[in-house]
Chain A
């Protein structure tokens, strides 16, 4: 197991290096200048700005000096938000996204697994069909539709919950629901399919033949195996939720990392883009590694090599 982890870590470093390099080069090659504005900037000032941000000289020189800074852990100063370094921006926004995302993640798994198992146990009956219809709706309705509908109903019409902002408990409910509902639906469908398949297998029949309690069979034996696809789905899902959703954070005015994802690309704020991509890939890869390790715990037949 140790050599496996070691090899994966080396691979992660290589991937990070490629991701950072590609991001930098693509951002520099994209048309549009990070400093251009509504009002034309005199060429002398533009030059000054570019050299101040290490963006003068050939693209190779710029890339090498950026890479050096990144290795030292300095993600540089944002070209758009000039009072903040990328490290500071990430330090402020990432915890917000992670807090919200982790609650949404837990809720997603909780809803998804319970509802999926329920549907599988009532396969073909009205409970199953109605649940799967709701799940289909959940998958099909994107959060940019769900969020305004929730705001309209719970925020403006009933006045129960806050329409936007972050901090008070009532400001958490709608964004967490909007983040988790579509994914809960996917997890529920995944659990249902997988559980149905597992329930037909020999070891379940054996367990039943032994006269084990049905609830024990489901929870201790069947679900344990049926959850494997969910576990592999959960890695990218967690990375997705933890780094913030552009749409949900924007609509609910949550000071997370999500909106920076897209806006920084539009602003050609290449250091913020670089920083976010770095953090996202780091989280994604770590979670994937974690998922692989988790596999061995859930199913002893899987060996890491």
Chain B
């Protein structure tokens, strides 16, 4: 605080109004976390800002490290059966933040809670690979006993899967599968999650939570590897404004921004040259959907023509400008055990030919269609660009339609659109998280598209035990999606972006899941430099 501001006559009066909290002390690390967390309950959260906090507060059977890899968490080790359908986890002697031991039944109860239809967990489907979990969640069976989770003894948990699921250990590191402390849940009721009440098992405990201001985490001394956790206190600032986030970082009030949405789009280009700008490939794709239940996009040739006429390079160079790779496939490169198909390059001549074959030579007689997007500057710029590409290459004029977020989601669900902007962020490092969306009837399909061979291949991939063969099956499925049928057109893959001074902050590594656990971070003191 400057002397000038101190001497202002209002200052002493003002400070009476509100207790001061220190924003920067040497032992506190401050970062901008994003919008106000919707909840800190592991069973119901879905967003990135919530996940960052919850994975510092809690820990599952497995955990992600700074490289984005899966490592043992509360489970010390696990044994997978020969048919790959049963996993037996051995738990370490870990403790809750109040000193209670963590047992296998904590996991069983917590998973039961997350799957309980009354909980209405939006991410419950992450537990569906477990035998009968889906039936229980959908209310088809009442007894949790038939769900494939068993407590063998306090330190041993056995999970029976519906099918071999190569990414199940990844899922174990996700919040929906974290344990919660049942005793406090019972005694505190709805307030169990509040600061001072929350009993957690992760590297940090919840010290304070001020709505729309900040969440303060304090190191948990009972955490099983507390000795490796270096930062004593973390302040996670709340703001959904990229400009404010950047101002805080730039003026030294925040040490880290690790969310591309919190970096002002207009500043990305100049920022890329700064030493504190860091980026990494990220498992997420920006794409367009076609509504295949309506004319004219019920015709695969029309969809293909539209897909082939997009100049993707121009979009990443002119609009997004953060070094995004253009997308030929829905699954981004870098997904574990999988190489996405090459896709089809831009080909205007072929696109024109296909459109003519579909009955619209040079776009003549093409019905009026529009691109639907949720209101945002970036979405609009891209839509305008694509609109002019289609006009130029195909002679088709599409109109633009923007809707407010919730209205846009409703339009997608009711298939009330022609073409719609979309994106998908991988939940875990496996091609399944992308390709499963387009199986017939999946909630996230949102195109009306259905293809028996695609569905069959996806089902086959779920039971295939050989990694290479599974990759081939998934590849053939993806070829149908992005080389033959085109219910969607991938446009570009996102990159993860972060701002921090690497001479001051350590433990932060680029990784494809764009997950940077807070427990791994450490401050580099001036004396150590």
A residues adjacent to B (C-beta < 8 A): 31-42, 44-46, 48-49, 52, 77, 80-84, 88-89, 92-93, 96, 99, 103, 148, 151, 155-156, 159-170, 172-173, 176, 250-253, 255-256, 259-260, 266-268
B38 part of interface (Cβ distance < 8 Å):
yes
Stretch at the interface among B73-81, B158-166, B356-364, B402-410: B402-410
What residues of chain A lie closer than 8 Å to B46, measured between beta carbons?
37-39
Cα-based distance from A252 to B237 in the complex (angstroms): 12
Residue of A nearest to B445 (CB): A40
B467 at the interface (CB under 8 A from A): no
Nearest A residue (CB) for B212: A255
CA distance A96 to B406 in the complex (A): 29
Quick one: closest A residue to B121, CB to CB?
Answer: A45
**Are B406 and A156 in contact (CB-based, < 8 A)?**
no
Residues of B within 8 A of A (CB-CB), count: 66
Question: Which residues on the A side are within 8 Å of B213 (C-beta)?
Answer: 166, 253, 255
Residues in chain B within 8 A of chain A (CB atoms): 1-2, 4-6, 8, 10-15, 17-21, 23, 36-41, 44, 46, 117-118, 120-125, 137-139, 190, 193-194, 210-213, 237-239, 241, 243-244, 247-248, 250-251, 253, 404-407, 409-410, 413, 442-444, 446
Of B15, B194, B250, B407, which one neighbours A168 at CB under 8 angstroms? B15
Smallest beta-carbon distance B527→chain A, Å: 26
Looking at the complex, which one of B6, B117, B248 makes contact with A165 (CB distance below 8 Å)?
B248
Question: Which chain A residues lie closer than 8 Å to B121 at the CB level?
Answer: 45
Q: For the complex, what is the distance from the CA of A145 to the CA of B237, rounded to whole Å? A: 24
Residue pair A161, B2 in contact (C-beta under 8 Å): yes
Chosen A-B contacts, 29 in total, with CB atoms closer than 8 Å, are: A32-B404, A32-B409, A39-B122, A39-B123, A45-B120, A81-B36, A81-B39, A82-B44, A89-B211, A93-B211, A103-B13, A159-B2, A160-B4, A163-B247, A164-B248, A164-B253, A166-B213, A168-B20, A169-B5, A169-B6, A173-B5, A252-B244, A253-B213, A253-B239, A255-B212, A256-B212, A266-B404, A266-B405, A266-B406
* Cα distance A83–B192 in the bound complex, in angstroms: 9
In the docked arrangement, what's the CA distance between A39 and B423, Å? 10
Which residue of B11, B138, B407 is within 8 Å of A42 (Cβ)? Answer: B138
If A160-B5, A167-B21, A169-B15 touch, does A103 touch B36 (CB 8 Å cutoff)? no
In the assembled complex, the CB of A192 is this many whole angstroms from the nearest CB of chain B, namely 25
Report the bound CA distance from A111 to B446 in whole Å.
57
Q: Give chain A nearest CB distance to B246 CB in angstroms.
A: 9
Q: Given A41-B122, A156-B247, A173-B8, are A165 and B38 neighbors across the interface (CB < 8 Å)?
A: no
The answer on a CB contact under 8 Å between A48 and B117 is: yes
Q: Identify A36's interface contact among B11, B139, B406, CB under 8 A.
A: B406
Residue of A nearest to B414 (CB): A31
**A48-B120, A165-B253 known; A40 and B446 CB under 8 Å?**
yes
Chain A minimum-CB-distance residue to B444:
A40
| A80 close to B239 (CB less than 8 A) | no
A-B complex: 3 closest residue pairs judged by Cβ atoms = A40-B443, A32-B406, A255-B213
Q: Which residues of B contact A168 (CB under 8 A)?
A: 1, 15, 20, 23
Partner of B138, one of A44, A52, A167, A251: A44
Q: Chain A nearest CB: distance from B306 CB in Å?
A: 24
The residues of B that contact A48 with a CB separation of less than 8 Å are 117-118, 120
B190: chain A residues at CB < 8 Å are: 77, 83
The docked-state distance in angstroms from the alpha carbon of A92 to that of B406 is 26
Docked-complex contact B39 and A83, CB < 8 angstroms: yes
Q: A38–B284 Cα gap in the complex (Å)?
A: 14
The reply to whether B211 and A167 contact each other, CB–CB distance below 8 Å, is no
Output the nearest chain B residue to A50 by Cβ-Cβ distance.
B120
Q: Determine the residue in chain A with the shortest Cβ distance to B36.
A: A81
CB of B409 within 8 A of CB of A37, answer: yes
Contact B405 A169, beta carbon cutoff 8 Å:
no
Say yes or no: B15 contacts A155, CB within 8 Å: no
Cβ-defined contact, B19 with A52, below 8 A: no
Given A31-B406, A167-B23, 11 more A-B residue pairs with CB atoms under 8 Å apart are A33-B409, A34-B406, A36-B406, A40-B442, A82-B44, A155-B247, A163-B244, A167-B18, A167-B19, A168-B20, A169-B1
Question: Nearest Cβ distance between residue A273 and chain B, in whole angstroms?
Answer: 13
Chain A hits for B212, CB < 8 A: 93, 255-256, 259-260
The answer on a CB contact under 8 Å between A49 and B409 is no
Complex CA–CA separation, A52 to B406 (angstroms): 20
Say yes or no: A99-B409 contact (C-beta < 8 A), given A164-B247, A259-B212, A266-B404: no
Q: Which of A49, A89, A170, A260 has the most CB of B within 10 A?
A: A170
Report the nearest B residue to A250, measured CB to CB: B241
Asked if A52 contacts B118 (CB within 8 A), the reply is yes
Chain B residues with Cβ under 8 A from A159's Cβ?
Answer: 2, 251
Are A255 and B211 in touch, CB under 8 angstroms?
yes
Which residues from A are CB-within-8-Å of B442?
40
Residues of B with C-beta under 8 A to A156: 247, 250-251
| Contact for B253 among A44, A49, A52, A163, CB less than 8 A | A163
* Separation of A81 and B37 alpha carbons in the complex (Å): 7
In Å, the complex CA distance between A40 and B412 comes to 10
Contact of B2 among A32, A160, A253 (CB under 8 A): A160
Chain B contacts for A253, CB-based, 8 A: 213, 237-239, 241, 244, 248
Interface contact B247-A82, CB-CB below 8 Å:
no
Give the distance in Å from the alpha carbon of A169 to the alpha carbon of B1 in the complex.
Answer: 8
B236 vs chain A, min Cβ distance (A): 13
| Interface contact A172-B14, CB-CB below 8 Å | yes
Instruction: Let me know if A37 and B5 touch, CB within 8 A.
Output: no
Tell me if A161 and B5 are in contact (CB < 8 A).
Answer: yes
Q: Contact check: which of A93, A173, A251 meets B241 at CB < 8 Å? A: A251
Instruction: Name A172's closest neighbour in chain B (CB-CB).
Output: B14
Q: Which residues on the A side are within 8 Å of B193 (C-beta)?
A: 83
Q: Which of B40, B120, B243 has the most CB of A within 10 A?
A: B120
Query: Inside 8 A of B139's CB, which chain A residues have their CB?
Result: 44
